[in-house]
């Protein structure tokens, strides 16, 4: 979704994108679009804070049941006023979901980079832009189950991340070798902080018990071997962090559902920065964002129908696959 869109447009788009993945959030978003009072309440928030998942999560954080009827959400928001606890939570928190299921779509991209690097066998140094708690920095600590047209491809032990695959994706025979892992975020989350991890669970959609279980497993993995997380602006910190990572392996800067939260002009700056770093040979770049976020990457792949929600997976600025936002499926064409 587009975090900076008009409230009605944003919630209508969210309802379409959620589709069958969350009946609760689809019905809530559709109802918001038809409810001028709630639209006005949401519209009184700062632009970046109006996004559906943040508003819905804050309401649930303060007791609105989900799954549950829209009337409960409506009553809670309209009763919250200008200085209520729901509004305070929205203003204080962010949608740092850290969905590790996306690793099932990212690992093939990492595998291609590893296979084509100049020094065969050199480990990867993973640098995540918008890392949140750093839960996606452990692709080597998960197993994978890719369902292809010719059968299931298994890699690693349980727990395995599952993904339906179309096309000839470079599914690896070995887990990636990671020599270093680090990340940048405006407000990194600590896996040892119960409140922060509770908020991450709240951001998982109501019906997604499998994702909640996976999130708890991912938190356990990160607690055993915490990554290096730096607080700061992505564009300002990336070049320095790339240099730091370069001493530990082939640097791969990656991000997933993060760049949408930059303002449009900043997205363009980020795109230029990454293309420059790639051209210099400083790093590789793996992007996984909604189709409208990085137009240059999206345009390098097959045309996407306007009504089709999808993420676009890119390697070094070129689209290689269309992916499900939570990593459940991937169509590889690159």
Kindly state the average pLDDT of the residues 91-107: 93
Q: Residue 36's CB: how many other CB atoms inside 10 A?
A: 11
Mean pLDDT of 85-89: 97
Q: Once rounded to an integer, what is the mean pLDDT over residues 1-18?
A: 85
Say whether pLDDT at 274 is over 80: yes
| pLDDT value of position 125 | 98
Look at residue 5 and tell me whether its pLDDT is greater than 80.
Answer: no
pLDDT at 83 over 90: no
pLDDT for 138 beyond 90: yes
The model's confidence at residue 294, banded by pLDDT at 50, 70 and 90, is very high
Which tens digits make up the pLDDT trace of 181-238? 999 999 999 999 999 999 999 999 999 999 999 999 999 999 999 889 999 999 999 9
Least confidently predicted of 17-21, 28-32, 180-184:
17-21
The residues, ordered by sequence, that sit 6+ positions from 24 with a Cβ below 8 Å of its Cβ are 66, 67, 68, 205, 206, 207
| DSSP three-state, residue 95 | coil
Whole-prediction pTM value?
0.92
> Is the per-residue pLDDT at 96 higher than 90?
no
Asked whether the predicted pLDDT for residue 82 surpasses 90, the reply is no
pLDDT band at 121 (very low <50, low <70, confident <90, very high): confident
CA atoms of 304 and 297, how far apart (whole Å): 12
Distance (Å, whole) CA 212 – CA 180: 27
Higher pLDDT, 98 or 290: 290
Where are the chain's structural domains?
7-92, 100-332
Task: Identify the pLDDT of residue 262.
Answer: 93
Which CATH fold topology does 100-332 show? Rossmann fold (3.40.50)
Residue 183: predicted pLDDT:
97
Mean of the pLDDT values across residues 25-53?
96
Average pLDDT over the chain reads 95
pLDDT of residue 119: 83
Residue 128 pLDDT > 70, yes or no?
yes
Alpha helical stretches, state H, the chain = 7-18, 23-33, 36-43, 52-61, 70-80, 85-92, 103-116, 194-203, 209-224, 234-245, 264-280, 295-299
Length of the chain (residues):
334
Q: Is the pLDDT of residue 2 over 80?
A: no
Separation of alpha carbons 119 and 236, rounded Å: 29
Whole-number Å distance between alpha carbons of 213 and 268? 36
Question: What's the rounded mean pLDDT across residues 96-100?
Answer: 87
């Amino acid at each position: 979704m587009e975090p900076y869109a008009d409230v009605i447009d944003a919630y209508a788009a969210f309802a379409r994108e959620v589709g069958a993945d969350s009946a609760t959030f689809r019905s809530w978003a559709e109802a918001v679009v038809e409810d001028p009072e709630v639209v006005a309440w949401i519209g009184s928030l700062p632009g970046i804070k109006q996004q559906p998942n943040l508003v819905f999560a804050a309401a649930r954080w303060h007791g609105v049941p989900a799954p549950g009827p829209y009337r409960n959400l409506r009553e809670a928001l309209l009763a919250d006023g200008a200085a209520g606890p729901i509004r305070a939570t929205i203003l204080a928190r962010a949608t740092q979901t850290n969905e590790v299921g996306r690793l099932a779509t990212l690992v093939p991209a990492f595998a291609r980079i590893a296979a084509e690097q100049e020094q065969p066998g050199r480990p990867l140094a993973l640098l995540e832009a918008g890392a949140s708690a750093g839960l996606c920095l452990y692709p080597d600590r998960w197993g994978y189950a890719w369902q292809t047209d010719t059968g299931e491809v298994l890699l690693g032990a349980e727990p395995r991340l599952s993904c339906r695959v179309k096309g000839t994706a470079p599914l690896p025979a070995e887990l990636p070798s990671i020599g270093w892992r680090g990340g940048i975020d405006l407000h990194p989350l600590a896996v040892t902080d119960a409140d922060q991890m509770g908020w991450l669970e709240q951001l998982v959609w109501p019906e997604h018990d499998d994702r909640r279980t996976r999130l708890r497993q991912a938190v356990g993995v990160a607690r055993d071997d915490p990554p290096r997380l730096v607080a700061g602006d992505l564009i300002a910190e990336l070049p320095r962090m790339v240099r730091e990572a370069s001493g530990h392996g082939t640097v791969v800067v990656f991000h997933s559902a993060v760049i949408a939260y930059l303002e449009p002009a900043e997205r363009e700056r980020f795109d230029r920065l990454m293309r420059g770093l790639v051209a210099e040979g400083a790093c590789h770049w793996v992007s996984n964002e909604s189709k409208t976020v990085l137009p240059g990457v999206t345009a390098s792949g097959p045309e996407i129908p306007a009504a089709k929600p999808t993420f676009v997976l890119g390697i070094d600025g070129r689209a290689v696959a269309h992916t499900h936002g939570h990593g459940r499926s991937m169509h590889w064409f690159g």
